[in-house]
Amino acid sequence: MRPEQPARNRSLELAPARNFDKSPAMTQAFKTFGVIGGGAWGTAIAQMLCRDGQDVTLWCLEAEVADAINTVHENTVFLSGVPLKPALRATTNLADLYNLDALFAVAPAQHTRSTLAALKGHIAPGTPVVLCSKGIELSSGKFMTQVLADALPEASPAVMSGPSFAIDVAKGLPTAVTLAVEDESIGSELIQAISTPTFRPYLATDLLGAEIGGAVKNVLALACGIALGKGLGRSAHAALIARGSAEMTRLALALGADRETMSGLSGLGDLVLTCSSETSRNMSCGLALGRGESLESIMGARNAVTEGVATAPVLRRLASEHGVDMPICDAVAAVIEGEISVDDAITTLLMRPNKAESVLA
């Protein structure tokens, strides 16, 4: 079944907000922000939003995380060593996010539905909810925009995705992302509110494409990590990124997203970053798998979610339902589900028949 699409589904990458007209007639509508999820990425987004004239509340599941942010101004569990702005307020009470101007949903993909559902009836119709989790819901096979439509149908959906490590954003290092919105007027106002000289969001309307890029790149990062962990070399690594990009584009086209999105920040940009650094949790997980560690031991030693592990099996099912050939992602899913070994997965990929190079091949 084809996912529901917004009425318009075209790429619209524009100049960042600091290049927009800032005449007095263009007022900033958003002053109060809530961020759902006190992990590294949620904390980084809250830090980025926290500035003069804007109130930011960060909801954390763990009381010790909220206490540390409020008292020592540091997320000592998920983003240690990064000083946070004293004005940033953390809470463990979702009611503190009621009736704010805009929300950023950064809970892990498999927990997004429950956190959003807890806000039902407590946000004004049309409130922007910016989805920042990168994954597909395992139980339903739905992307986060579809989960939002189920849980908070009164919200105005947006997706923020692109090459961005939490620690870079929290430290104020230069970062560019895609902000895909259904309502362009809301998107323009949001960009006015969240952009800084070092955090540059680009406006787009292809929400599904941005979501596909964010979900698939995590699975491909597992594959790239496995290859490097097995000592297959940088040539194999580069080939996996290139052919993985083709797989991602095939799926996007089959589901009705735009090809251009896959070559933008939320597609190729995020893919290259996530597949090229051990800072990526998915890449580092793949490296450990390639070096012979078990998935159970890897995940047991982590305090943060590795989204690609949950996404790989549901991505394989989604691709199969739509007749999309995704051999790299299929192999990763088979490894994650214990169907084949890492060595067998590599052999399977190397034995595939030669084809003409094409996104469609």
Overall fold of domain 32-205: Rossmann fold (3.40.50)
Please give the distance of CA 333 from its chain centroid, rounded to a whole number.
19
- In degrees and rounded to multiples of 5, residue 103 shows phi and psi of -125, 145
- Rg over CA atoms, the chain: 20
Sequential DSSP letters for 271-290:
HHHHTS-TTSHHHHHHHHHH
Catalytic residue list:
217
pLDDT score at 361: 59
The token pair at 80 is 């240690």
213 is in an annotated binding site: no
pLDDT score at 337: 97
39 is in an annotated binding site: yes
37 is in an annotated binding site: yes
162 is in an annotated binding site: yes
Q: Walk along the chain (361 residues) and give the pLDDT tens digit of each residue.
A: 434 443 333 333 333 333 333 333 334 489 999 999 999 999 999 999 999 999 999 999 999 999 999 999 999 999 999 999 999 999 999 999 999 999 999 999 999 999 999 999 999 999 999 999 999 999 999 999 999 999 999 999 999 999 999 999 999 999 999 999 999 999 999 999 999 999 999 999 999 999 999 999 999 999 999 999 999 999 999 999 999 999 999 999 999 999 999 999 999 999 999 999 999 999 999 999 999 999 999 999 998 889 999 999 999 999 999 999 999 999 999 999 999 999 999 999 988 887 777 666 5
Within the chain, all domains assigned CATH 1.10.1040.10 are found at 209-351
Overall fold of domain 209-351: N-(1-d-carboxylethyl)-l-norvaline Dehydrogenase; domain 2 (1.10.1040)
pLDDT score at 17: 33
334 is in an annotated binding site: no
pLDDT score at 20: 34
pTM above 0.85, yes or no: yes
Three-class secondary structure of residue 296 per DSSP: helix
134 is in an annotated binding site: yes
> How many CB atoms neighbour CB 238 within 10 A?
14
pLDDT score at 354: 77
Within the chain, all domains assigned CATH 3.40.50.720 are found at 32-205
305 is in an annotated binding site: yes
